[in-house]
Amino acid sequence: MEKEPLKEPLKEPLLKLDKVGIRFGGLKAVSDVDLELYDNELVGLIGPNGAGKTTIFNQLTGVYIPTEGDIFFRGERINGLLPYKITRKGMSRTFQNIRLFDDLSVLDNVKVAYHSLSKHGLLSTLFRLPAHFKGEQEIEEKALKFLEIFRLDHLRDEQAKNLPYGQQRRLEIARALAAEPKILLLDEPAAGMNTQETNQLMNLISFIREEFKLTILLIEHDMSLVMGICERIYVLDHGQLIAQGSPEEVRNDPKVIEAYLGEEIT
């Protein structure tokens, strides 16, 4: 009997934006955006100030509901889901303006992410049942592992607000990772960092992508960071995608050069 030829399995995108747009009153901040992310990719989202990058993150994470188009995550339409539900489905993020619990310790900032996912339930926590203590211990061990990866373990008891800026940024990424995402959205992770810190961050982002088999979408103004680590890049201008492709393709695209006129693309 003749063998059936092996069929290539269809590659489904992990995240798919289908003609996504949003309007704020008269302003169309984002329009007609098609974007796809696949397993274990590291993809950049760039564009001049006000292009709509953060607005896309806000739509992906349920902060804003798109007024046009659809967002599919692992095949499921997620428009309009509440942010915590989207986090639980496996998407977490960091913010352009760092959002930590300033008065909590470094360790507690990471543990908070686990509590939001806790499977032990409110009852076992309220009545301090054995499951609660076992859960607490597990959570602490896991949180400490993340702090080690981000070289913050020696600061575990320090209040988050006392950390220098670069370490606060790393802590925010550690917390986002602790929510065990499939997709990690990083909004300008290198903002405010010096060159040495930026280089260390580049290595760290590549490392966590491999280590945790993550898909990462990265908004970044630091072009050397984006061009250095992303396999693909999407370019937004005035809310619309104007280019996409490899760093090389994007860097040489006349539309991108024009959009960045006056800014240096290195």
> Please, which residue, 29 or 139, has the CB nearer to ligand ATP?
29
User: Residue with structure tokens 């959570």?
Assistant: 139
Pick the closer one to ligand ATP by CB: 29 or 86.
29
Q: Identity (one letter) of the amino acid at 141?
A: E
Residue type at 212 in one-letter notation: F
- The yes or no reply on residue 256 touching ligand ATP (CB under 6 A) is no
CA distance 73 to 233: 19
Q: Take residue 159 and report the two structure tokens written for it.
A: 């209040």
Question: CA 263 to CA 43: how far, in whole Å?
Answer: 21
Question: Given CA atoms 62, 180, 130, 104 in this order, what sign does their dihedral have?
Answer: negative
Amino acid at 225: L
Question: Residue 135 or 239: which CB sits closer to ligand ATP?
Answer: 239
Binds ligand ATP (CB under 6 A): choice among 12, 50, 207, 248: 50
Q: Is 49 in the site for ligand ATP (CB under 6 A)?
A: yes
Residue number with CB closer to ligand ATP (54 or 244) = 54
- Binding mask 11-30 toward ligand ATP (x if CB under 6 A, else -) reads -------------x--x-x-
Cα–Cα distance measured from residue 191 to residue 198, given in angstroms and rounded to the nearest whole number = 9
- Dihedral pair phi/psi, residue 232, rounded to 5°: -135, 155
Q: How far is the CB of 68 from ligand ATP (least distance, A)?
A: 14
Supply the minimum distance, in Å, between the C-beta of residue 95 and ligand ATP: 11
Kindly indicate which of the ranges 48-56, 87-95, 132-140, 254-262 contains the residues binding ligand ATP, using the contact rule CB under 6 A. 48-56
Under 8 Å between Cβ of 149 and 213:
no
Cβ-based nearer residue to ligand ATP, 36 or 237: 237
Rg (CA), the chain: 20
**What minimum distance in Å lies between the beta carbon of 53 and ligand ATP?**
4
SS3 142: helix
With CB under 6 A as the contact rule, the residue among 16, 36, 42, 55 that binds ligand ATP is 55
- Decide if residue 99 touches ligand ATP (CB under 6 A): no
- Contact residues toward ligand ATP (CB under 6 A) are 24, 27, 29, 47, 49-55, 96
